[in-house]
Chain A
């Protein structure tokens, strides 16, 4: 066994199997809704319950979504795609086999480029295949090992899944996190994924440790070396952050073992999020035999032309570049404004109607800044983007000051849910008319003869004092520059 030796530097090799739920209206093999249901076992029918005699019928919407992903990751779409049965017994699996893909997956040989810090990385995507999600288990009175009994909910059964299998191209946990973030971003851009849905992303990772000397100059590792190194499969990862933590832990655990001269067991380990450790699943790690064979109930699907026929939207990288060129944004602003399709679309809407710089300040700094401060996402105010747009309109028309718009109106929109016009009216923030300002200027001069004297004596600070007085009288709604100008005129 070519375990990495105790001496010398060690390198970490990671490959991923990422399961993402595809957003379709109905399940992959029946007409049941994929929407979240309050009651268990209500979004079900004979097909997704696996009742005897029921037959699967392919939802082409799921195939379409997968083809979109294939285009986005530059994968090969086969002439025809077909389905296999993956046979294994598990209580959440209605038929005790899963309809999946084996020798003709819908996507093959793709890649995804992403940034880690300021480094660009590309990871190979070996394949992505469609399959049906099993149901979900609820263990009552304990964990999987100690529960008194277990309930099965088949609402999730039949939700379309895309299993994305990468090459073992990752060299550390941070890369995995960056990759997953990028993958989610792309999937959301394509409109085939909802990161907010519980369990919409599940990751299994294969991790092994080899001698650094085995890693080639281009970062590649010989297949034989990988085969010979014992690896662990880490399961139960459900977020980018979780992936980084789990794999950093697992890499260190394996390195420690090797450095102490102990062998790494080839096994499946469970990521225990709450304890922050991976735990051996202690099951006998037999070679799994899924007895894959053709699913005769589903005829092969001709998808040769689908790649040409299905359009995908502009992807994040391309859009980021375009934003920089078209709107003259800096890197940071362009990154923020293309982080999700929703934000980018909103930005472009504002830029078209008002002004690109104003739109950038309002979306990238003000809106995202205030949301971030409150630990909120743009998706949390989905239905209220029109109100934000109205606020920007008020600013653009100079009906309120930029300062009031952000510090009072936007904040109270987020904090107490009022709409911008209401806040402006109730807080009296409408820009004060010239007459009112003029009166305040005259009053300030009359009430502060000392300051007027100082001004005429050439003391420049006096004008600032008088501006402050005017601002106070107008409740801050006057423009300080204008006030300054008016005071100077009145004092001449």
Chain B
């Protein structure tokens, strides 16, 4: 069946040998591939062919992976359902008639359908974890700075990371090992073991590097959660759908049975997280997307009037409604007279969210919540009501504000067979902790 999961099906062959040799890794269409068009799900970039590979694409090729194609996505990553793509919506292979989640809906769908062994998505406010949860697969949002963003077409550059999507936690961890690590072309990347410093290894995490000095995430995926302390932020259960909450507690019971213990915790700042996220993300988007003015990308030429008028016409034609909405919101939030009221306040809220997470993670190895407060929505349901779509990001966006790592793993289904995902959040560069917790449910 055709899920409309690819924008472009064009094979890119990697090296003959390598740990991913013989395996396919689909790549989200906002990650640059030299010579293969990279559209961001937008008409603006329908004909854009990057002259260079993103760092993660270079690393995939070196590891011997084959890239079968570029996956469909919400336009510029702006959506939770993969319905805002200029190339049409993506179906959910795990729940027909429902959305696959977004914005990396194509990447999650190809993995769920078995069309690719694994995939890369990008996560600005939940865009890896949400589709992983809705499609019943595993997705990891790495700590900000673990994976190079060089070549990732920015939506909100202070928030986003490229992350793996795979059928199992172990495979997701393996793909993360391939793409993670400092990159001199991305000044925000950091070395995990340097960042963790002395005394990084605990009984729960173990060493982030193996004997060869490479990252070791795979060995954490052994299902052993004996002695693990799990914090459950009550704010992230409050508004959630009953069927989702039921599956969540069933999963926590399983973890307890495996030797973990849990406690409830409150993070008062989370109340403001979605608002803060949308102000920051749209502000950054208004700047990041400014370069798409019709001069070098998208529809261009033949307009009367001055440059400003020509730019406005090109952007009017090239962007879809959700992108326009967010660019306008962000431009407003950054403008003189409003910046203090919106952008600066959102930055304060971001600092508060970070602080709340740090405190909560001082008393827990990981925090757990439903990945999404709702099961997959029906197609078309959220398009008329952007606010409902934004609120669905309540559990995922705080993690991006705090720059922390998180994983979404399958945790059963609702009564009508819609997948439910469970999210674990760890401390900065604590990928091994969330991988360990997630693997116990796999």
Contacts and interface: CB of A to CB of B under 8 A. Distances in A.
A250 to B, nearest CB: 26
B188 to A, nearest CB: 6
B32 A96 contact: no
A97 B40 CA distance: 20
Contact of A287 (B30, B184, B336): B336
A55 B52 CA distance: 13
Contact of B188 (A89, A289, A294, A299): A299
B291 A50 contact: yes
Interface string B152-178: 111001100000000000000000000
B334 to A, nearest CB: 4
A152 interface: yes
A291 B52 CA distance: 30
Contact of A87 (B31, B45, B287): B287
Given A58-B187, A297-B188, A298-B187, A85 B336 contact: no
Contacts of B311: 89
A433 B367 CA distance: 100
B335 A52 contact: no
A56 B187 contact: yes
Interface string B31-62: 11000001010000100101110100000000
B308 interface: yes
Interface string B280-306: 000110110011010101000000000
A85 B187 contact: no
Given A296-B157, A297-B187, A95 B50 contact: no
Nearest to A85: B287
A296 B188 contact: yes
A50 B291 CA distance: 8
Contacts of A287: 336
A152 B295 contact: yes
B186 interface: yes
A52 B290 contact: no
A57 interface: yes
Contact of A89 (B50, B152, B308, B335): B308
Contacts of A96: 290-291, 293
Interface string A290-307: 010110111100000000
A94 B308 CA distance: 15
Contacts of A8: none
A299 B290 CA distance: 22
A293 B48 contact: no
Contacts of A57: 184-187
Contacts of B187: 55-58, 297-299
Interface residues of B, number: 42
Contacts, number: 93
A51 interface: yes
Nearest to A30: B185
B188 A53 contact: no
A261 interface: no
Contacts of B157: 296-297
B307 A52 contact: no
Interface in A442-472: none
B331 interface: yes
Contacts of A89: 290, 293, 307-308, 311
Interface string A173-210: 00000000000000000000000000000000000000
A54 interface: yes
A142 interface: no
Nearest to A149: B301
B52 A46 contact: yes
A59 to B, nearest CB: 11
Contact of A53 (B153, B158, B286, B287): B153
A291 B336 CA distance: 7
B339 interface: yes
Given A91-B295, A95-B290, A55 B185 contact: yes
Given A55-B149, A57-B187, A299-B188, 16 more contacts: A52-B291, A52-B297, A53-B151, A54-B52, A55-B186, A89-B307, A91-B295, A94-B291, A96-B290, A96-B293, A152-B295, A289-B336, A291-B335, A294-B158, A297-B186, A299-B187
Interface of A: 46, 50-58, 85, 87, 89-91, 94-97, 152, 287, 289, 291, 293-294, 296-299
23 contacts: A46-B52, A50-B291, A52-B32, A52-B50, A52-B297, A53-B149, A53-B153, A55-B149, A56-B187, A57-B186, A87-B286, A89-B290, A91-B307, A95-B290, A97-B287, A97-B290, A152-B295, A291-B336, A291-B339, A293-B287, A293-B334, A294-B158, A298-B187
